Amino acid sequence: MDLLNTLVEKGLRRELPSREEALAVLATSDDDLLDVVAAAGKVRRQWFGRRVKLNYLVNLKSGLCPEDCSYCSQRLGSKAEILKYTWLKPDEASQAAAAGVAGGAKRVCLVASGRGPTDRDVDRVGKTIEAIKEQNEGVEVCACLGLLSDGQAERLREAGADAYNHNLNTSEGTYGDITTTHTYADRVDTVQKAHAAGLSACSGLIAGMGESDEDLVDVVYALRELGSDSVPVNFLIPFEGTPLAKEWNLTPQRCLRILAMVRFVCPDVEVRIAGGREVHLRSMQPLALHIANSIFLGDYLTSEGQAGKTDLDMIADAGFEVEGTGTPTLPAHRVDVEREAEGCGTGSSCGSGSVCGSSAADVPAEPAATAEVPEARTDLVAVRRRGAGTDLAPNA
């Protein structure tokens, strides 16, 4: 397809595709799916080879969140029967992190429910970061604590944090439909605070909430504009007891097209298959590794993933290798988190509202066939009952 050849060429040059091209990827037919995966794979291998970065989640504080994010099992009013507990002590969190590192994780992601941390919370997380780094040489630590106040990102950086995660989740135009207790602008502000403090910006999206193709393209373009170094792509886990429990909109093919679109728009960025991959990609997960270069190992915040050994076997069987701690994840031109925007043709967009490259409005896109409504696979949604906050061994 001319479309895919154009996208590969732009990806190898780190050039931003047009919106029409990005939308055309999402509109490709299932007959062209393997071609789409192969094209995205060429871009992925150019910048990341056959390496897969493993990340491990530690839920420091679970449930009882005052925010009303419709997708979240920890939200205000959630009836999902998840684990609920207050802050783990630094040594407890460090023990949980050590299990992930022993399983091959290069980055530990420390997450706490809530609108945002108090200064006391930042101190607590700082001690946890110190404990993890003392016991696990070379490990990266990413914090995800909600909306940040002035100065908190700097304090996390001083405590040893390498990155900060705060997802945009969906487009600015539809954000108010999923959350009312904070705004899209609040989220953008936190990502910018983290980036300004010298933390690697980790920000992504959630697909499957009923959004349009245009919404998906909008949020991925916004993530590139923000300069996110890593983009987690979550696929909605429709927890019973949440407002989006009946939203089963994704097929494995749809998920692969979404990942490919993200790769083409963010060619040299860590694209991570995050929550929901087992639920929605299912047996197609190995194909997704040809597009994304990063996954979570084992369980998620409130749901269980497949066995950690199964993750490792899947990576090896698909012909990939686990990225070691001594290997930089990002290409050399992106390593410096304090880099200045280099203008057109780099990993950044050319400015507010403009994009690099020529328009491809005349690129014909084969219309996608009308898809049947996917079957609800509630059997694949398992609430986490092990690991952090329990007396059972973690899955890593």
Q: Give the separation between CA 108 and CA 58, rounded to whole angstroms.
A: 7
Average pLDDT over residues 355-362: 34
- pLDDT tens digits for range 259-279: 999 999 999 999 999 999 999
- pLDDT tens digits for range 321-334: 999 988 999 999 98
Domain that residue 310 falls in: 40-327
Annotated binding site for [4Fe-4S] cluster: 65, 69, 72
- Active-site positions read 65, 69, 72, 109, 142, 202, 272
pLDDT of residue 1: 74
Residue 230's domain is classified under what CATH number?
3.20.20.70
Question: Coil, helix or strand for 357?
Answer: coil
pLDDT at 232 over 80: yes
pLDDT of residue 168: 98
Give residue 386's pLDDT band: very low, low, confident or very high (50, 70, 90).
Answer: confident
pLDDT at 339 over 50: no
Instruction: Tell me if 201 is assigned to some domain.
Output: yes
Put simply, whether the predicted model's pTM sits higher than 0.85 gets the answer yes
Cα-flanking dihedrals φ and ψ of residue 259, to 5°?
-60, -40
Instruction: Tell me if 29 is assigned to some domain.
Output: no
The CB density around residue 95, as the number of other CB atoms within 10 Å, is: 17
Instruction: Tell me if 21 is assigned to some domain.
Output: no
Annotated binding site: 65, 69, 72, 109, 142, 202, 272
Beta strand 200-202 with 51-61: parallel, antiparallel or unpaired? unpaired
Annotated binding site for [2Fe-2S] cluster: 109, 142, 202, 272
Instruction: Tell me if 359 is assigned to some domain.
Output: no
Instruction: Tell me if 357 is assigned to some domain.
Output: no
pLDDT at 385 over 90: no
pLDDT at 64 over 60: yes
Domain count, the chain: 1
Instruction: Tell me if 323 is assigned to some domain.
Output: yes
Instruction: Tell me if 394 is assigned to some domain.
Output: no
Instruction: Tell me if 4 is assigned to some domain.
Output: no
